[in-house]
């Protein structure tokens, strides 16, 4: 009888392949088959690279055979049982068989019986030698006999092999048949799909069969956020991209298109990717449409447009099938089915969430059983899978959250989940948030509301640090909790649903009342706040992040903010694409001062203004004792900085792109806690005051302040007489500041024992003299674009850029 079926099929397996240590476990009676059939089968399996457990070959010395064999059975994907005449004589063999049948039921282990010189009916009905063996066992151990008999019946009912009836009894050909069958079961068709993904292979092949390869076709993948749309599109892209003349995978279209010139940049990215050229320039969307059609209409292309959320994006990036050559495929992923309807695409594929078996397999990948009892673990795992509703992200997050927890903690967590009335998956994800400390929660909410897609750079860490979050360790925890990731290019990122969960936490109790939220970032919420009376008590708001506000809206936000007693961070950026008329803004005159007179948020620790239209921030002295971070970017009409005497704890001061700025207020010299000072692109700056009391300064940037004729002497005084007292300085940037030979090392010794980075590019040196420069820790020196330089020192321990 040939092998017709076994206990399960590959599609039935619910345990991850990662739990299997061995491919095959061989169960056999040693005196019957060890040196004959089993020896030949074991050798054939090993020759095919099939890792096989056979007790006399694999069992480490000194181990107890019982527990070792049980563990080996549990760790084997397939169990091959060789029933021979004397198999039932051995209580060890029967115990093995019972444990194998338990693993068949509990772990979906594949069971393959071989009836070697014995009829299956003899095993099933315990006849002849099997009857004699059980008569003996009945006298010795009545407790196990019934379980042994049941295991024999169940195993012998599985279709298996009878070697004497295969290939006219030729044992070598029978063994080859068995090994070939095992090999096929262990090695399905290979795919480019990541082994860590679950359920993607079948979905990918099904969709590929739908889209075909003839004609020009557009395919939409639609479904809930976090359901696997991008994963499916990416797997298809990897699988079939070699069949096309050019390919491009365009990520995060919804996010990217909201940026200035976003659609133009995306059009350029398609052209560059498909044509394999450096990024082309697209000045207007209309121009980009013409370029796409002109350059791609004769090419067979594969383009994935990921996360499209409105029709404009689709029309500007793939407006017509005529834009592309014969055989082209355009794949669109979206959460909005409306983008795909109305004959816009040829196929709409609704993403399917994981079924129970797939969900269990994915969950086991992230929450391995370890030492837990199988019964408890499986019951609780089924509860988690049921609760997660087949959403892959929820399974991963919950798996990682529970993987190191004890059973009582699992029960507690599941009980807490079941008390949440709303079945919305955002609530389900909240369990990971609940596991954070209060400080970690606040850090996570700030990152989710304000920092997604932003570089995890020095500035971002400074902002989070002045808010009191200790971000270095906090970010590490959030990454480990699978709440955020740091992308390959060093940016904060997270899954859409995780971000939506954070937004839900902030807004859920009062979704229509932003004045009751801790954080405000949505444009409509900022407009509601602008419409409020300036006397309104706003004691809930801690942070405002206003991007692309109008000038009058920014002014109004600041007026209303005078009553925000808990305000710690305010970020305001006007919608500016060019420098506005200094005298006219929206029909009115340019405000001289942007911060109102009564602006007393004593908790304010971080202030960032970008493209605001003011000549100065405030007049006179303001008491802001907790303000630690100020960044003024592209304040084109700023002519002077504020009085710093009311800011005793200021740590970071940055001003960039203020061409009219002439003076830094003299009170700057009295700041004692400065860590970072960056002044750049202020071409009219006349004086740079010394930092006489700042003994903690680590970063000093004075770049592209080109009018050296006015500030040369103050630069010398500042650098040569004061800098030698600053032992903490790690980065010094004096690029593009018209410095010449006499400005470096000619007046005094520079003692900079901690300096790691020195930027001098774009200056007018002819011959650099570092004889008076003491920089024992210097690791990076940049003197590029010093076109007049003829001689410079070189130290092979430095990275010198020229």
264 flagged as catalytic: no
Cα separation, 34 vs 48, in Å, equals 20
Cα separation, 40 vs 178, in Å, equals 12
Report the candidate in 298, 345, 299, 295 with the shortest Cα–Cα distance to residue 319: 345
Rg from Cα positions in the chain: 36
773 forms beta bridges with: 750
Distance, CA of 129 to chain centre:
62
Give Cβ neighbours of residue 220 (< 8 Å, ≥ 6 apart). 331, 332, 333, 334, 339, 340, 344, 345, 347, 348, 349
For 135, what's the count of Cα atoms within 13 Å in the CB-facing half-sphere?
6
Q: What is the full DSSP assignment across 169-191? A: G-HHHHHHHHHHHHHHHH-PPP-
Question: Tokens 């095959």, residue?
Answer: 24
Cα separation, 28 vs 94, in Å, equals 10
Report the candidate in 251, 239, 198, 202 with the shortest Cα–Cα distance to residue 393: 198
Q: What is the full DSSP assignment across 667-735? A: GGGG-----EEEEES-TT-------SS-----EEEEES---HHHHHHHHHIIIIIIGGG-----EEE-T
Is residue 760 within 8 Å of residue 734, measured between CB atoms? Answer: yes
Q: At what angle do helices 356-366 and 392-402 cross, to 10 degrees?
A: 40
Question: Tokens 């005196």, residue?
Answer: 31
Strand 110-115 and strand 606-610: the pairing is: unpaired
Cα separation, 87 vs 94, in Å, equals 8
In angstroms, the Cα distances linking 556 to 189, 526, 551, 714 are 63, 10, 9, 39
**Residue 661 in 3-state DSSP?**
coil
Task: Quote the tokens at residue 147.
Answer: 């379980």
Question: Tokens 């795909």, residue?
Answer: 340
Task: Quote the tokens at residue 125.
Answer: 């009905």
Question: Tokens 């229509």, residue?
Answer: 512
Give Cβ neighbours of residue 451 (< 8 Å, ≥ 6 apart). 460, 464, 492
Is residue 62 within 8 Å of residue 53, measured between CB atoms? Answer: no
Choosing from 74, 96, 500, 553, the catalytic residue is 96
Question: Tokens 């960032």, residue?
Answer: 608
Cα separation, 340 vs 348, in Å, equals 7
Cα separation, 151 vs 91, in Å, equals 13
Cα separation, 402 vs 394, in Å, equals 12
Cα separation, 695 vs 520, in Å, equals 36
Cα separation, 319 vs 312, in Å, equals 9
Our CA angle for 730, 731, 735, nearest 5°, is 160
Is residue 129 within 8 Å of residue 87, measured between CB atoms? Answer: no
Q: What is the full DSSP assignment across 221-253? A: EE--TTSSHHHHHHHHHHHHGGGSSEEEEE--H
Give Cβ neighbours of residue 421 (< 8 Å, ≥ 6 apart). none
**Residue 336 in 3-state DSSP?**
coil
H or E stretch at 25: strand 22-27
Cα separation, 321 vs 311, in Å, equals 15
Task: Quote the tokens at residue 691.
Answer: 């930092």
Catalytic (active-site) positions: 96
């Amino acid at each position: 009888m040939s092998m017709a079926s076994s206990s399960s099929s590959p599609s039935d397996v619910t345990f991850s392949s990662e739990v299997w240590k061995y491919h095959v476990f061989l169960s056999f009676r040693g005196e019957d088959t060890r040196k004959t059939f089993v020896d030949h089968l074991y050798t054939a399996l090993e020759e095919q690279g099939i890792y096989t457990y056979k007790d006399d070959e694999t069992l480490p010395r000194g181990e107890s055979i019982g527990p070792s064999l049980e563990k080996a059975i549990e760790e084997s994907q397939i169990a091959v049982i060789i029933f021979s005449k004397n198999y039932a004589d051995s209580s060890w063999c029967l115990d093995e068989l019972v444990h194998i049948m338990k693993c068949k039921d509990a772990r979906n282990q594949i069971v393959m019986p071989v009836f070697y010189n014995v009829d299956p009916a003899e095993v099933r009905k315990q006849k002849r030698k099997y009857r004699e063996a059980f008569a003996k066992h009945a006298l010795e151990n009545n407790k196990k006999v019934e379980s042994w008999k049941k295991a024999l019946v169940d195993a012998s009912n599985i279709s298996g092999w009878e070697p004497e009836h295969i290939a006219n009894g030729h044992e070598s050909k029978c063994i080859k048949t068995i090994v070939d069958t095992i090999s096929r079961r262990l090695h399905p068709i290979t795919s480019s799909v990541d082994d860590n993904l679950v359920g993607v292979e079948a979905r990918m092949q099904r969709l590929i069969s739908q889209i075909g390869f003839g004609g020009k076709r557009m395919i939409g993948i639609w479904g809930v956020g976090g359901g696997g749309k991008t994963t499916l599109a990416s797997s298809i892209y990897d699988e079939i991209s070699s069949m096309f003349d050019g390919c491009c995978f365009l990520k995060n279209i919804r996010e990217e298109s909201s940026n200035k010139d976003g659609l133009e940049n995306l059009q350029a990215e398609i052209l560059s990717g498909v044509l394999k050229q450096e990024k082309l320039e697209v000045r207007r969307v209309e121009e980009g449409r013409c370029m796409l059609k002109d350059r791609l209409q004769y090419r067979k292309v594969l383009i994935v447009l990921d996360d499209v959320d409105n029709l404009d994006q689709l029309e500007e990036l793939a407006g017509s099938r005529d834009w592309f050559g014969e055989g082209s495929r355009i794949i669109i992923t979206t959460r909005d089915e409306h983008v795909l309807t109305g004959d816009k695409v040829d196929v709409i594929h609704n993403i399917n969430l994981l079924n129970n078996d797939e969900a269990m397999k994915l969950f086991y990948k992230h929450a391995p059983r370890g030492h837990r009892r199988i019964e408890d673990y499986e019951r609780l795992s089924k509860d988690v899978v049921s609760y997660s509703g087949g959403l892959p992200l929820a399974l991963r997050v919950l798996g990682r959250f529970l993987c190191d927890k004890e059973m009582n903690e699992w029960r507690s967590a599941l009980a807490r989940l079941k008390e949440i009335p709303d079945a919305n998956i955002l609530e389900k994800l909240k369990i990971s948030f609940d596991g954070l400390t209060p400080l970690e929660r606040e850090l996570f909410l700030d990152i989710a509301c304000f920092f997604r897609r932003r570089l995890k750079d020095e500035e971002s860490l400074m902002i989070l640090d002045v808010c009191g979050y200790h971000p270095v360790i906090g970010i590490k925890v959030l990454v480990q909790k699978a709440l955020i990731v740091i992308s390959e290019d060093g940016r904060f990122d997270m899954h859409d649903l995780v971000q939506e969960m954070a937004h839900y936490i902030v807004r859920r109790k009062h979704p229509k009342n932003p004045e009751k939220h801790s954080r405000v970032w949505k444009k409509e919420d900022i407009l509601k706040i602008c419409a409020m009376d300036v006397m309104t008590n706003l004691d809930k708001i801690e942070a405002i992040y206003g991007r692309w506000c109008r000038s009058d809206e920014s002014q109004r936000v600041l007026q209303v903010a005078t009553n925000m007693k808990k305000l710690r961070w305010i970020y305001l950026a006007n919608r500016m694409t060019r420098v506005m008329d200094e005298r006219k803004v929206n029909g009115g005159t340019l405000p001289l001062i942007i911060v109102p007179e009564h602006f007393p948020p004593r908790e304010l620790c971080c202030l960032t203004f970008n493209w605001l239209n003011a000549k100065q921030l405030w007049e006179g002295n303001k008491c802001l004792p907790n303000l630690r971070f100020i960044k003024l970017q592209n304040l084109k009409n700023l002519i002077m900085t504020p009085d710093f005497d009311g800011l005793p704890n200021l740590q970071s001061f940055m001003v960039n792109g203020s061409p009219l700025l002439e003076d830094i207020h003299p009170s700057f010299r009295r700041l004692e806690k400065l860590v970072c000072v960056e002044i750049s692109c202020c071409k009219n700056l006349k004086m740079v005051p010394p930092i006489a009391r700042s003994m903690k300064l680590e970063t000093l940037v004075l770049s592209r302040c080109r009018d050296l004729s006015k500030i040369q002497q103050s630069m010398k005084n500042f650098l040569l007489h004061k800098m030698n007292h600053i032992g903490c300085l790690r980065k010094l940037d004096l690029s593009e500041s018209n410095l010449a030979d006499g400005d470096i090392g000619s007046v005094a010794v520079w003692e900079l024992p901690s300096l790691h980075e020195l930027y001098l590019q774009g200056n007018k040196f002819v011959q650099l003299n570092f004889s008076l420069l003491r920089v024992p820790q210097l690791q990076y020196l940049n003197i590029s674009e010093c076109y007049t330089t003829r001689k410079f020192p070189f130290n092979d321990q430095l990275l010198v850029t020229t």
